[in-house]
Structure 1
Amino acid sequence: MTVSDGRRQTALVLLCAAVFLDSMDLSLMGVALPSIGRDLSLPESTLQWLMSGYAVAYGGFLLLGGRIADLFGRRRMFLISLGAFAAASLAGGLLSVGWLLVLTRVVKGVAAALTAPAALSLITTTFTEGPRRNRALGIYSLAGATGYSAGLIFSGLLTQVSWRLVFFLPVPIALAVLVAAPLALPRGERPSAAAGGFDGAGATAVTGGVLLLVYALTEKNWPAGIAAVVLLAAFVAIERRQRLPLIPLGVFRSGRLTAANLAALTWACATIGWQFVAVLYLQRELHYTALATGLGIVPMGLAIVVTANLAGKLINRWGLGRVAALGMLIQATGILLFLRAGATGDYVAVLLPALLIHGIGNGLSFPSLNIAAVGGLPDDQQGLASGLVTSSVQIGAGVGIAVLAAVMPLGHSALSGYRLAFLTAGAFSLLGVLIASLGLRAPAPAAESVPATADS
Structure 2
Amino acid sequence: MTSTIDVVTEKATTHRKSGSTIALIVIAMAQLMIVLDGTIVNIATPHILTSLHFTQSSVQWVVTSYALAFGSLLLLGGRLGDLFGRRRMFVLGIAVFAIASLIGGIAPTGGLLLAARAIQGAGAALASPAALALINTTFEAGRERNRAMAVYAAMSGAGAAIGMILGGVLTEADWRWTFFINVPIGLAVAILAPRVLVESESGDGRLDVAGAVTGTAGLFGIVYGLSHAGQQGSSWGDLQTLLPLIGGLVVLALFVVVESRASHPLLPLRILSDRTRGVSLLSMLLIGAGMMAMFFFLGLFVQQVLGYSPVKTGFAFLPFSAGVVAAAGLASNLAGRVDPRWLSGFGGLLATTAMVGFAHLSTDSSYALHLLPWIVVMGFGMGFLFIPLTLTATAGVRRDDSGAAASALNTAQQIGGAVGIAALTTVFTHFATQKGTELAAAGKAAIAQAAASGHTPTHGQLAQASHHAALQVQTFGSTHAFWYAAGMMLFATVLVLGLLNVRHTQLAAEEAAVVVA
Tell me, yes or no, whether TM beats 0.5: yes
Match for residue 2 of structure 1 among 14, 17, 30? 14
CA contact (8 A) 1:46 1:102 kept: no
Residue ranges of structure 1 left out of the alignment (5+ in a row): 451-456
Match for residue 362 of structure 1 among 382, 406, 414? 382
Instruction: Indicate the residue corresponding to 2:454 in structure 1.
Output: none
Question: Equivalent residue of 2:174, what SS?
Answer: coil
- Amino acid paired to 1:176: A
Using the TM superposition, give the Cα deviation of residue 117 of structure 1 relative to its aligned residue in structure 2, in angstroms. 0.3
CA distance in 1, matches of 2:207, 2:511: 23
- Amino acid paired to 1:290: P
CA distance in 2, matches of 1:92, 1:127: 35
Question: Equivalent residue of 1:4, what SS?
Answer: helix
CA distance in 2, matches of 1:51, 1:191: 34
CA distance in 1, matches of 2:290, 2:199: 38
CA contact (8 A) 1:31 1:155 kept: yes
CA distance in 2, matches of 1:299, 1:105: 29
Match for residue 501 of structure 2 among 441, 444, 447? 441
Match for residue 429 of structure 1 among 460, 464, 489? 489
CA distance in 2, matches of 1:22, 1:271: 17
CA distance in 2, matches of 1:2, 1:168: 36
Using the TM superposition, give the Cα deviation of residue 128 of structure 1 relative to its aligned residue in structure 2, in angstroms. 2.9
- Amino acid paired to 2:310: A
CA distance in 1, matches of 2:196, 2:139: 14
Instruction: Indicate the residue corresponding to 2:126 in structure 1.
Output: 114
Instruction: Indicate the residue corresponding to 1:185 in structure 2.
Output: 197
CA contact (8 A) 2:217 2:248 kept: yes
* Comparing 181-190 and 101-110, the one that deviates more: 181-190
Taking a change above 3 Å as real, the CA distance of residues 299 and 4 of structure 1, as seen in their structure-2 partners, is: same
**Is 1:81 matched up with 2:93?**
yes
Match for residue 74 of structure 2 among 62, 71, 85? 62
- Amino acid paired to 2:481: A
**Is 1:277 matched up with 2:310?**
no
Taking a change above 3 Å as real, the CA distance of residues 449 and 239 of structure 1, as seen in their structure-2 partners, is: farther
CA distance in 2, matches of 1:163, 1:294: 15
Instruction: Indicate the residue corresponding to 1:47 in structure 2.
Output: 59
CA contact (8 A) 1:46 1:98 kept: no
Instruction: Indicate the residue corresponding to 1:145 in structure 2.
Output: 157
Instruction: Indicate the residue corresponding to 1:13 in structure 2.
Output: 25
Residue ranges of structure 2 left out of the alignment (5+ in a row): 1-12, 230-240, 436-472
CA distance in 1, matches of 2:25, 2:312: 30
Pairs within 5 Å for 1:167-178: 167-178=179-190
Count of residue pairs the alignment pairs up:
447
CA distance in 2, matches of 1:107, 1:17: 19
Using the TM superposition, give the Cα deviation of residue 228 of structure 1 relative to its aligned residue in structure 2, in angstroms. 0.4
Match for residue 207 of structure 2 among 195, 198, 206? 198
**Is 1:235 matched up with 2:255?**
yes
Deviations 1:394-447 (A, max 9, x none): 000000011110001222332221111010110000001011112222245748
Deviations 1:171-217 (A, max 9, x none): 11111112211211113432223xxx211001100110001100000
* Comparing 172-181 and 396-405, the one that deviates more: 172-181
Question: Equivalent residue of 2:57, what SS?
Answer: helix
Instruction: Indicate the residue corresponding to 1:315 in structure 2.
Output: 335
Using the TM superposition, give the Cα deviation of residue 145 of structure 1 relative to its aligned residue in structure 2, in angstroms. 2.0
CA contact (8 A) 1:125 1:382 kept: no
Instruction: Indicate the residue corresponding to 1:418 in structure 2.
Output: 478
Question: Equivalent residue of 2:39, what SS?
Answer: helix
Q: TM-score scaled to structure 1, two decimals?
A: 0.95
Deviations 1:18-71 (A, max 9, x none): 000001101110111111111222222331100000011111111111111101
Instruction: Indicate the residue corresponding to 1:454 in structure 2.
Output: none
Deviations 1:212-233 (A, max 9, x none): 1000001121111110011001
Instruction: Indicate the residue corresponding to 2:216 in structure 1.
Output: 207
CA distance in 2, matches of 1:441, 1:135: 23
**Is 1:245 matched up with 2:265?**
yes
* Comparing 383-392 and 34-43, the one that deviates more: 34-43
- Amino acid paired to 1:344: D
Pairs within 5 Å for 1:280-295: 280-295=300-315
Q: TM-score scaled to structure 2, two decimals?
A: 0.84
Among the aligned pairs, what percent are the same residue? 34
Instruction: Indicate the residue corresponding to 2:281 in structure 1.
Output: 261
Report the structure number with the largest CA radius of gyration. 2
**Is 1:352 matched up with 2:372?**
yes
